Amino acid sequence: MRETSRIEAWGGLECTVARVGNLFRDQIVETGHFDRSGDLAAIAALGIRTLRYPVIWETISPDNPATAEWGWHDERLGQLRDLGIAPIAGLIHHGSGPHYTSLLDPAFPDLLARHAERVAARYPWITMFTPVNEPLTTARFSGLYGHWYPHGRDVRIFLRMLVNQCRAVVLSMQAIRRIIPDARLVQTEDMGKVFSTPLLQYQADYENERRWLSFDLLCGRVDRTHSWYRIFLDAGIDEKALAFFTGAACAPDIIGINHYLTSERFLDHRLQHYPEYHHSGNDRHRYADVEAVRIDLPHGETGPQARLAEVWERYRLPIAITEAHHGCSREEQLRWLIEVWNAAGKLKADGADIRAVTVWSMLGAVDWNTLLVQSNGFYETGVFDARCDVLRPTALATATASLAATGTFDHPVLDRAGWWRRDERLYRPARRGGIARIAGSPRRLAITGATGTLGQAFSRICTVRGLDHDLLTRADMDIADAASVESALTRRRPWAVINTAGYVRVAEAADNAERCYRENAEGAEIVARVCARLGIPFVTFSSDLVFDGQLGRAYVESDPVSPICVYGSSKVEAERRVLQACPQALVVRTSAFFGPWDRYSFAHAVLRDLAAGLQVEASDALLVSPTYVPDLAHAALDLLIDGATGIWHLANQGAISWHELASRVALEARLDTATLIRAGDDGKRFTALSSERGLILPTLDSAIQRFVCESTIAWQTGKANAVAAG
């Protein structure tokens, strides 16, 4: 018998099949789950025993409602049964059905109910169903905002879609229960709240009543006394259609709440305070519609605990958080998951019937930053990183396993509040401080190489990510002095060490070989040895110059090293010594730094000199993987938090020569390239990096675009400051 005294950890796969125009997008395909048979065993190994899983109508009967293809689902649902995982079968997930129907089709509810009946008949051992995921949210995105098919932008269309979907839920559950009498409805919906300035309180009240409509319809509450009854009638929904719900109430057995940081909104008529892309309005006022967490609200509480409490007070039905996900850096993902988990635990302790927290997006998600309307391949990591040939567990996997087994989880990054609790999140300065709560004294990282490009970048990005750290100078800790390292690390006891120190003058290394080896190989080994003894995770950096460039393709981690210069040889020796001294170390090979903060880099020199009309000479003889330093630092920090070990290649995806890099930077900055000179045509070498462990950095095109944008902003800011200083 399953233990029910504490909250359960459920899992879920982002499984949207959304139609945008005539294009159907399937997240199960885009995250690779469709082709990977081992995913479910990896999920089961975390201790997950309940999983939201797709049995999506569009994938089973895509062309004809009279036919169905069950092969893939038979295999995967069979695996779930063998693994002891109970599926919550989802039949429509932000979809509008196959191409022969739509959310506005009067036949849609009956057609979906027919699909539900088939699913129940084929898999009668399934007892939990979500016939339609988030009907209100889907109706908003498809009928009010025009994002998804059929791209409506009218309240009448929105309400017709909502009623159609909720009717489909009722008919589907009736069909399912004729075959599986004890089948339970797990009805999901995004739950947020709208706050506003006093002028716009009427709009906030309207939206705050609207948010309950899907649950109110299913619970049979939309009668003549309901605040939206007249609005339904005015939108063309007749009394008979509404009476269907009061006569055939289908209250959820479990209310599934999906709550995101963007779910809560703030409406402000003072448009000048916000970026233009937040400007919106109604037929009475123009206003900004922004994330409420970015506002220092004078009243009203945001966050999952407040919203869950409202749901409990309104319905008094069992509740599960059916999506807990945040598409951000790893520590923020952990902070959000634990905040949601703790909120659920607090309410359960106070008497609310909270059943579970679903760790969502087990395999990540693609292009949800644009609500799927653009195909950019933008991947948000989930519990597993699906960009690897074999699923790679992230720190969220460790957290999920711990929550499933014990209900608790700890990590040093949890000592600091998430960005949504820190003052820097705000569009305008806070009237009060101290909202970034810290549990005691936060545990800290140690970063070596305080004066170097990489060390400075890591410090900057750690600050943005709320990762407390010490940026160490040679006076703080000389990495090539064993006594200095022992003393510093024993005294500071960081939770991890990131080593960015070392000898970096590649062209001068042959004349300074002893110093090069001392700083690159001996120093890295000493720090690795002390970290191993003290149980401190260790990250250090190597180079593409461990290879000679003769392979003819981009190098992956398992390719044999073949250095042809002293600097490359020192890095080979560093890798060997570090992994021998500390087998759990992470050694990151990277290449050809460029970034917005290093004014002495090649890419910055190109921008500066071409803008001044000066001649720039760049080689076309060597193909490299230019690496955008912010991307490198973010990815390395994520891997560190994930507990990754061994050698990993981190470089932006793409291989170009220095001349081509200069050309593309100039093109992006709209600079004349007449003074850009090509050099070194005789033969090519290829030291570009790829990865067999996972390509986790963005494309080079994306990096160049962001570099030019950030560099332009930095240059303009510097010029303005200089003018202001006189």
Q: What amino acid positions are annotated as catalytic residues?
A: 567
Instruction: Please report the sign of the dihedral spanned by the C-alpha atoms of residue 445, residue 448, residue 453, residue 456.
Output: positive
Peptide bond into 150 cis (omega under 30): yes
How far is 154 from 17, CA to CA, in rounded Å? 23
Compute the C-alpha angle 49/54/60, nearest 5°: 145
For residue 17, the surrounding DSSP H or E stretch is strand 17-20
Burial of 303-342, coded b for 16+ CB within 10 Å and e otherwise, reads bbbebbbbbbeebebbbbbbbbbbbbbbbbbbbbbbbbbe
Query: Are 499 and 551 contacting, i.e. CB atoms less than 8 angstroms apart?
Result: no
How far is 425 from 433, CA to CA, in rounded Å? 13
Tell me if residue 139 falls in helix, strand or coil. helix
Query: Are 486 and 565 contacting, i.e. CB atoms less than 8 angstroms apart?
Result: no
Neighbours of 24 (CB within 10 A): 18
The one-letter amino acid at 602: F
Residue 660 has φ and ψ, to the nearest 5°, of -70, -35
Give the C-alpha distances (Å, rounded to integers) separating 313 from 106, 211, 246, 319, 435: 34, 15, 21, 11, 27
**Radius of gyration over every alpha carbon of the chain, rounded to an integer in angstroms:** 28
Tokens 């084929």 label which residue?
Answer: 122
Instruction: Name 23's bridge partners.
Output: 20
Q: Which two tokens stand for residue 249?
A: 């109430």
